């Protein structure tokens, strides 16, 4: 399995993004959590910040928009030349139209679902997306515990994409560490967001260890 490791810069030093982005240069992408203090009770990066990060990053940017009205805002983020833009199904009005707009602007289109949102909410529209993000914590904060009870939903999503021959990446976000990554990989995840686990220790070593653990995990298929 090709395990992608995307460290979340929510756990980086906010006064040293350039240094910390360079510390994760072996990662597949840098995960950027955009929070608006409305969709989630926390506030992080706005557009000028993401624009600047895009200029200095050595790795592609994987944006996770935890914002209201992504129909309006997400295309503006895609225009910055980022690698991927993932918005929440709970917040979007016209997700398929929005996915098309993101792709037209050169970004991969992702859709995210909260722990309480069933897979059925995105089942029909999955072919329009390059990535499905299954939250394994309640969105809003880093450093929370991995919700192992999301594994049946993840396995179902994996089975769905396989049965339809989709190339959709399956991303998990929240509480991913060396203790939990194998379980997520075994249930079908191929793209792993890890904030605290990467920046807690030596980021390069953590990325390598996480990638090795995910790759070595036994798979159901």
**Does 33 contact Fe ion by CB under 5 A?**
yes
Would you count residue 140 as binding ligand 5RP (CB under 6 A)?
yes
Q: Is 141 known to sit in a ligand binding site?
A: yes
Interacting positions 50-69 with ligand 5RP (CB under 6 A): 64, 66
DSSP the chain: ---EEEEBGGGS-TT-HHHHHHHTTTSS-EEEEEEBSSSSS-B---HHHHHHHHHH-SS-EEEEEE-S-HHHHHHHHHTTT-SEEEEETTT-SSHHHHHHHHHHTTPEEEEEE-TTS-GGGTTTTGGG-SEEEEESS-TT-SSPPP-GGGHHHHHHHHHHHHHTT---EEEEESS-STTTHHHHHHTT--EEEESHHHHHS-HHHHHHHHHHHHHHS----
211 binds, among ligand 5RP, Fe ion, none (CB under 5 to 8 A by kind): none
> Is 38 assigned a ligand-binding role in the annotation?
no
Task: Report, in angstroms and rounded to the nearest whole number, the Rg of the chain calculated over CA atoms.
Answer: 16
Binding mask 12-41 for ligand 5RP (x = CB under 6 A): -------------------x-x--------
Specify the stretch interacting with ligand 5RP by CB under 6 A; choose among 95-103, 116-124, 133-141, 207-215. 133-141
Residue 143, binding choice from Fe ion, ligand 5RP, none, Cβ under 5 to 8 Å by partner class: ligand 5RP
Q: What residues are paired with 34 via a beta bridge?
A: 65
Site string for Fe ion, 59-98 (x = CB under 5 A): -----x----------------------------------
Annotated binding-site residue? 201: no
Considering only residues 65 through 94, tell me which ones interact with ligand 5RP, judged by CB under 6 A: 66
Q: Write out the binding residues for a divalent metal cation.
A: 31, 33, 64, 173
Q: Which residues bind Fe ion (CB under 5 A)?
A: 33, 64, 173
What does the binding site for ligand 5RP look like in residue numbers (CB under 6 A)? 8, 10-11, 31, 33, 64, 66, 137, 139-144, 173-176, 193-197
């Amino acid at each position: 399995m090709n395990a992608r490791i995307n460290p979340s810069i929510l756990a980086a030093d906010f006064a040293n993004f350039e240094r910390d982005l360079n510390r994760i240069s072996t990662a597949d992408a840098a995960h950027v959590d955009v929070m608006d203090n409305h969709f989630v009770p926390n506030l992080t990066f706005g557009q000028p910040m993401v624009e600047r990060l895009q200029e200095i990053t050595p790795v592609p940017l994987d944006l996770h928009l935890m914002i209201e009205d992504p129909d309006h805002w997400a295309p503006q983020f895609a225009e910055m030349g980022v690698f991927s833009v993932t918005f929440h199904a709970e917040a979007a009005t016209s997700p398929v139209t929005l996915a098309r707009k993101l792709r037209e602007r050169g970004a991969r289109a992702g859709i995210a679902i909260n722990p309480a949102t069933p897979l059925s909410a995105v089942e029909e529209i999955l072919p329009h997306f390059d990535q499905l993000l299954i939250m394994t914590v309640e969105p809003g904060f880093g450093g929370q515990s991995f919700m192992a009870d999301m594994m049946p939903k993840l396995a179902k999503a994996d089975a769905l994409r396989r049965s339809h021959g989709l190339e959709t990446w399956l991303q998990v976000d929240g509480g991913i560490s060396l203790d939990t990554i194998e379980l997520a990989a075994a249930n079908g995840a191929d793209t792993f967001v890890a904030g605290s686990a990467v920046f807690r220790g030596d980021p390069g070593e953590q990325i390598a260890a996480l990638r090795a653990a995910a790759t070595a995990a036994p798979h159901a298929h």
